[in-house]
Amino acid sequence: MNEHFSEQQAPEPRVSEPQAPAQPAEAARRRRVIVWGAAALAAVLAGALVCVAVSSAEERNARDAYRAAVARWQAIGGDAAPGSLSSELQGLDGEIAAARELAAVLPEALVGVDARTALEGAATAAQQTAAQHGGAGDTRGPASVAEPEDAAKLRTATQRIEAAIAAREGAGQSDDAALAAVTEQRRAVVAAVDTARGALVTVVADQAAGLTGASAEARQALAAAGESLAAAPVAEAAASATALTAALDAARAEHEAAAGPAAAANIDDPASIAVVVNKQRPLQPISWEPGDLRMPAGIPNPNGQPLRAEAATALEAMYAEAAAAGVPFIITSGYRGYGLQSSLFESYTARDGLAAVETYSARPGHSEHQTGLAADLDDGSGCSLDSCFGDTAAGRWLRENAHRFGFILRYDAGQQPVVGFIYEPWHFRYVGAQVAGDMRARGIANLEDYFGLPAAPTY
Ligand SMILES: [Zn+2]
């Protein structure tokens, strides 16, 4: 059985190589593998070295390009907005605000509408210009980003910087036009401010000249405030204008306090008890009629002519004292309307001739009797409407006491060149106790001088 098995295993040596010659072939193969492996490894290593060399050259070029781009970017101004336009825009903003502020504080009464309109117009136009160019400086670049490490990132960063440089150069060109527009608007705003402040300074100087009642200090302060406004920078013009008008108000208050009731009186309104009517100052409207006429109570009044209520009350008080003093009087004339004055003037003219009438009777619309504030008084001693009334007991008492009741002797002796009428010691005009008392205290003989009005000798 063993033999048989041994026979059956006999072909095995045929398929396998003989042991002795197999040893040298294997060694050779191993050497080849080693050689080719080493060669391949060397090739791979060499290739890698070449790759590394190429890669670092590219990176160096990219870094150089990046650094050059950064240098160009920095050379045109870094990563800030273009300086000149942005600073101009900032300055314009401040001046627009200052112009608006100045327009707001300029008093209508002191500066013409033209100056205010010019200021507002310039401020609005400048604001539009500033709004148009407000975004022109937005060309920020990436120069402040840390330098990238690899070539691809360096190239991307370089492209961004170059794009920013191109945008910046384009913006720089449009900035030139914007800068010109902004500069022009700035000039317009400053010119309008100068016009308005000039108008204010001039008007205040004119008014200051008339404030003779103000103290020297107040007048000096006013002059100094005018000089300050004239020299103030645009941004301070509004504050200086406010200071100037405050100084004017202070000087005016002093002047009015010194001038007394005259400064506060309304001499133009026919309804004012201080209205001044003479040959140069007709009532306006010329046929004006008072609305509060009444008959003075308890005073003989043969012609039945009323007075305005306030004058009637004052005359009643005056009559009571005069009567108590033994010098009672009568009313020969009070309110005379435009129509009555017309017919009187015509009949006097027919009787005495126009030249004579003009000296003692007013044309309709120019008579104090039409105000309802004048009364002709008499004492029945034969001096009615005659200069001799001034020498009567009643006439003397009235001259000395009328002011206490708010009346003045309107046409005193020697006043015709100013008041336009001969001496009329019978004609008393109600002006209120303040004005009458002030005129008496200051020795002022007529309303024209008291209110600083021109003389009115003729029409
Ligand atoms: Zn009269």
Q: How far is the C-alpha of 338 from the C-alpha of 343, rounded, in Å? A: 9
Q: Is the pLDDT of residue 408 over 90?
A: yes
Q: Is residue 14 part of a domain?
A: no
The pLDDT, as a whole number, for residue 20 is: 47
Cα separation, 106 vs 6, in Å, equals 136
* Band (23; pLDDT cuts 50, 70, 90): low
Is the domain of 312 the same as that of 241? no
The SS3 assignment for 343 reads: helix
Does residue 130 belong to any structural domain of this protein?
Answer: yes
Tally the domains of the chain: 2
Q: Which of 240, 259, 278 is the last residue of a domain?
A: 259
In sequence order, which residues have a C-beta less than 8 Å from that of residue 15 and are 6 or more positions away?
A: none
**Given 233, 259, 285, which residue is the final one in a domain?**
259
CB 265 within 8 A of CB 274: yes
User: Is 192 found in the same domain as 316?
Assistant: no
Distance 290 CA to ligand 1 centre (A): 17
**Both 300 and 179 in a single domain?**
no
Q: What is the CA(276)–ligand 1 centre distance, in A?
A: 14
More confident residue, 5 or 197: 197
Of 123 and 396, the structure prediction assigns the larger pLDDT to 396
C-alpha 69 to ligand 1 mean position (Å): 101
Residue 21 has pLDDT above 70, yes or no: no
Q: Position of tokens 């001969």?
A: 422
Q: What is the dihedral of CA 288, 292, 295, 298, to 10 degrees?
A: -140
CATH number of the domain residue 446 falls in: 3.30.1380.10
Q: How remote is the CA of residue 375 from the centroid of ligand 1, in Å?
A: 6
Give the type of residue at 52: V
pLDDT range class, residue 1, cuts 50, 70, 90: very low
Decide: 123 and 100 in contact? Cβ < 8 Å. Answer: yes
pLDDT of 180-210, one tens digit each? 888 888 899 999 999 999 999 999 999 898 8
Same-domain pairing of 253 and 319? no
Q: What is the Å distance from ligand 1's center to 265 Cα?
A: 22
Q: Are residues 50 and 138 in the same domain?
A: yes
319 residue type, one letter: Y
Which residues in 134-150 are b (16+ Cβ under 10 Å) and which e? Answer: eebbebebbbeeeebee
Q: Does some domain include residue 269? A: no
Instruction: Report the separation in Å between the CA atom of 385 and the middle of ligand 1, taken as the mean of its atom positions.
Output: 8
Distance 406 CA to ligand 1 centre (A): 16
Ligand 1 centre to CA of 390 (Å) is 14
Let me know whether 203 and 159 are in one domain.
yes
327 and 251 in a common domain: no
Distance from residue 258's CA to the centre of ligand 1 (Å): 32
Whether residue 181 lies inside any domain: the answer is yes
Are 191 and 234 contacting, i.e. CB atoms less than 8 angstroms apart? no
pLDDT digit string (tens) for 122-132? Answer: 999 888 888 87
Q: Is the peptide bond before 261 cis (omega within 30 degrees of 0)?
A: no
CA of 162 to the centre of ligand 1 (A): 99
Q: Which of 282, 262, 261 is nearest to 270 (CA)?
A: 282
Residues 308 and 245 in one domain: no
Q: Is residue 73, in this structure, part of any structural domain at all?
A: yes
Range of the domain at 410: 293-450
If asked whether residues 445 and 361 sit together in one domain, one would say yes
Calculate how far, in angstroms, residue 286's C-alpha sits from the geometric centre of ligand 1.
Answer: 18
The answer to whether residue 348 sits within a structural domain is yes
Name, in order, each residue with C-beta under 8 angstroms of 362's C-beta and a sequence gap of 6 or more: 277, 279, 341, 345, 368, 369, 421
Say yes or no: 226 and 330 in one domain: no
- Give the Å distance between the CA of 336 and the centre of ligand 1: 10
